[in-house]
Chains A and B, each alone.
Chain A
Amino acid sequence: MKRRKFLLASISAFVLSLVSLWYYKFRSTKIEALSYPMDLSKICDRKTLIGIGTTHRKLTDENTKNYLEELLLQDAVVIETNLKMSLRNKVTEDFNTGNTILIDGWLLSKTEARQCAFLSMSEVN
């Protein structure tokens, strides 16, 4: 009986750790995508991106991670492997529709500005 219990507990623990590992990986991939303005990162260094993000938060009321996440994921196809690309497409779409913002002089897509804001609040920062 004891042995059965022990086996069950071990399996549950294993599954749980798998799930949390998966969740952790999913979450960190997501956070990475949310705080990675793909094109802008090729132009600006991390310090500048964080600076842009900090200013964005001051200029707008978008200054909690949850709210930024909510805004960033609006309309984006939230598929783990595609999040980075879908956010990138959203950036292009912003430029197409004039959904832009001026931050520290940079003429940016609102999506990438939010990504910078997310980065500036993120624990990896």
Chain B
Amino acid sequence: MHTDARKLANNAKIEGDLCIVGAGAAGISMALDWNNSGKKVILLEGGGFEYDNKIQDLYSGNSTGQRYYPLRSCRLHLFGGTTGHWGGMCAPFDHIDFRKRSWVPDSGWPISLEDLVPFYKRAQGLFELDAYNYNLHYWQKEYPALTPFPLDKNIIWSKMWQFSPPTRFGKTYKETIVKSPNIHLYTYANLTKIVANNAVSNIKELIVKNLEGKTQRVRAKKFVLACGAIQNARMLLASSDVAKKGIGNGNDLVGRYFMEHLEIKSAELWLKRPISTELYIFDYGTRKPRAELALTEGIQEETGILNGSASLTPLVMAKQQMPLIDVWSNEDPRKSFDKLVANFRESREQNASWQNENGNTAFELFTRMEQAPNRNSRVTLSNEKDALGVPRPQLHWELTDLDKYSIRKFYHILGTQMGKAGIGRVRLEEFLWDEKDNSMPDRLGGGWHHMGTTRMSEDPNKGVVDANCKVHGISNLFIAGSGCFSTAGAPNPTLTLVALSLRLSDHLKKG
């Protein structure tokens, strides 16, 4: 069922069993899981089915610290959420991503990879991916040309990726949601305030507004915030009528530990002779899996570095590509997206030589690495308000020495291994030369992956939500999405955040 909230009466009341706020990857996955369940599920979406500039403007905000994408354009504010722009790169987290690591402060999840595996399996289908198998040997049976470099397996391994078409949740799941007998989708229903009881132990209702000046109240037994990591934190912080510091923020943790993936061209790989393997090359025409070079848990522990991987792009092609942070600079997400697509397409079309049959000898090595959890990297509220009267978000993206050290060390290890195997040599980018320089250059980008602002921990002093994504101290408020990640993990987050949301969904059904 679908209702345009702008057409509802002012002050109308909406009631149901479960209320999910935000119809992006997390919210839609959860709602679909409740389809035909007999329970009345309210799905509130701030935008409509089409892009609307005024709605998108509700996402505007400022940032300080490490240069970041415009907050207005790095997410999408409509039904389907940011899957309208995502790239579809999917891989599960590694074991080590969940572990408490002595060399990574504030690391460790209260759940393990095994806890998520059944939900990863279910999430695969939502993204139209193949079987839940990220083992190189499995894929080699189908694609024999996926041969890895002959590197020391105790140190380097091939981290496999699968590619979603990419599934645009807004298009793919609209009909199912709209036709569902028990999912009640409300578009143009923007959450502006979460109202708690006096003891702040329970959520009473949500205040929802639209730009037509109407307000509605939503009551449910349980509430799930699925608005994305920046927006979830913003909504909790802005709901400060009863809880002065914001809901769930008794321990001053909401909005803190904002994390991104560190994405930057970091080195070049020069081979002695061309190696013809399809394993590392992204094939634009197909959805064939590919690998990135990653370091084993053992060597990460030995050298005290973060988890990450390096992708290979033929240098002739990569040289034409601008840094992502320069490409995605427009406040209008559609313009930034078009520029991103053009950046990739042109570099590919102008340099057909990268498709050399004998293989290439020179590659760009591009880092994708978790950011170390950092309390000072955070989302707060600014003094400015949006058109619905909600304080705008203020992002301070702050990195630590461990981030830079890890990237530098990663390429030292990779370079040593390439030399040892007699394959070739690695040349590091200039920003990595000086061991004493811990700053990151302005061309560092992120993956548009917002994580950690409502981090998970069993200890309320260390996290906003518990292992079931329930906000500590509040009986009926849950968070879905990558805001719950305790650490960022090496791979892109969406497969994991959907798996986590499906796990939350299971938990709610049991309760």
- A interface residues, Cβ below 8 angstroms from B: 39-40, 42-44, 91-92, 94-96, 98, 100, 102, 104-109
Q: Contacts of B424 on A, CB cut-off 8 Å?
A: 43
- Check if B425 sits within 8 Å of A107, measured CB to CB: yes
Asked if B357 is at the interface of the complex by the 8 Å CB criterion, the answer is no
Cross-chain contact B422 with A43 (CB below 8 angstroms)? no
- The answer to whether the Cβ of B270 comes within 8 Å of any Cβ in the partner chain is yes
Q: Identify which of A42, A106, A107 contacts B416 (C-beta below 8 A).
A: A107
Q: Kindly list chain B residues whose C-beta atoms are within 8 Å of the C-beta of A102.
A: 412, 428, 433
Q: How far is the CB of B274 from chain A (nearest CB, A)?
A: 11
Q: How far is the CA of A39 from the CA of B270 in the complex (A)?
A: 11
* A-chain residues with CB within 8 Å of residue B267 when the two chains form the complex: 105
In the complex, the answer to whether B430 meets A95 with C-beta atoms within 8 Å is no
B125 at the interface (CB under 8 A from A): no
Cβ of B2 under 8 Å from chain A = no
Which chain A residues lie closer than 8 Å to B419 at the CB level? Answer: 39, 91-92, 94-95, 100, 107-109
Are A96 and B415 neighbours in the complex by a CB distance under 8 Å?
A: no
Residue interface bits B270-312, CB-to-A below 8 A is 1, else 0: 1111000000000000000000000000000000000000000
Instruction: Check A105–B430 contact: CB distance below 8 A.
Output: yes
Most buried by B among A92, A107, A109: A107
Binding site for A on B (CB under 8 A): 267, 270-273, 361, 411-412, 415-417, 419-420, 422, 424-430, 432-433
Assembly CA distance A112 to B13 (angstroms): 76
Closest 9 CB pairs of A and B: A107-B415, A95-B419, A95-B420, A43-B270, A105-B427, A105-B428, A42-B272, A107-B426, A106-B427
Set A95, A98, A107: member contacting B427, Cβ < 8 A: A107
| A6 CB to nearest chain B CB (Å) | 57
Nearest-Cβ distance from residue B438 to partner chain A, whole angstroms: 16
CA distance in complex: A43, B270 (Å): 6
Across the interface, do A106 and B429 meet the contact criterion of CB distance under 8 Å? no
How far apart sit A3 and B417, CA to CA, in the bound complex (Å)? 68
- A39–B424 alpha-carbon span in the complex (Å): 8
Q: Are A105 and B429 in contact (CB under 8 A)?
A: yes
CB B381 to nearest CB in A, in angstroms, measures 43
Across the interface, which residues of B come within 8 angstroms of A104, CB to CB? 427
Q: Which residue of B lies closest to A108 (CB)?
A: B425
List, in ascending order, chain B residues with CB within 8 A of A107's CB.
Answer: 411-412, 415-416, 419, 425-428
User: Given the complex of chains A and B, what is the CA–CA distance between A34 and B420 in angstroms?
Assistant: 20
Q: Are A92 and B425 in contact (CB under 8 A)?
A: no
Instruction: Report the bound CA distance from A96 to B420 in whole Å.
Output: 6
**Which residues in B have their C-beta under 8 angstroms from that of A109?**
419
Asked if A95 contacts B273 (CB within 8 A), the reply is no
* A94 to B273 CA separation, bound complex (whole angstroms): 21
A98-B425 contact in complex given A39-B272, A43-B270, A107-B411, C-beta closer than 8 Å: no
Known: A39-B419, A105-B432; 12 extra A-B contacts, CB below 8 A, are A42-B272, A43-B425, A95-B416, A95-B417, A96-B420, A100-B419, A105-B428, A105-B433, A106-B428, A107-B415, A107-B427, A108-B425
User: In the assembled complex, which residues on chain B have CB atoms less than 8 Å from the CB atom of A40?
Assistant: 425
Q: Which of B267, B272, B273 has the most CB of A within 10 A?
A: B272
Min Cβ gap A52→B in Å is: 10
A98 to B302, CA, bound (A): 14
A43 proximity list for chain B (CB < 8 A): 270-272, 361, 424-425
Q: Are B422 and A39 in contact (CB-based, < 8 A)?
A: yes
- For the complex, what is the distance from the CA of A96 to the CA of B421, rounded to whole Å? 9
Q: Once bound together, how far apart are the Cα atoms of A92 and B429, in whole Å? A: 23
Taking a contact as CB atoms closer than 8 A, the residue among B272, B415, B422, B427 that contacts A100 in the complex is B415
- Cα separation A107 to B418 with both chains bound (whole Å): 10
When C-beta atoms are compared, the residue in chain A nearest to B412 turns out to be A107
Q: Which residues of B contact A42 (CB under 8 A)?
A: 272-273
Chain A residues closer than 8 Å to B417, beta-carbon distance = 95
Q: What residues on B are CB-neighbors of A94 within 8 Å?
A: 419
B318 nearest CB across to chain A (Å) = 16
Question: Which of A43, A94, A98, A108 counts the most B-chain CB atoms under 10 A from its CB?
Answer: A43
Task: Output the least CB separation between A12 and chain B (Å).
Answer: 49
CA distance A2 to B161 in the complex (A): 89
| Nearest B residue to A107, CB-CB | B415
Alpha-carbon distance A33/B241, docked complex (angstroms) = 78
Q: How far is the CB of A80 from chain B (nearest CB, A)?
A: 24
Chain B nearest CB from A97 CB (Å) reads 10
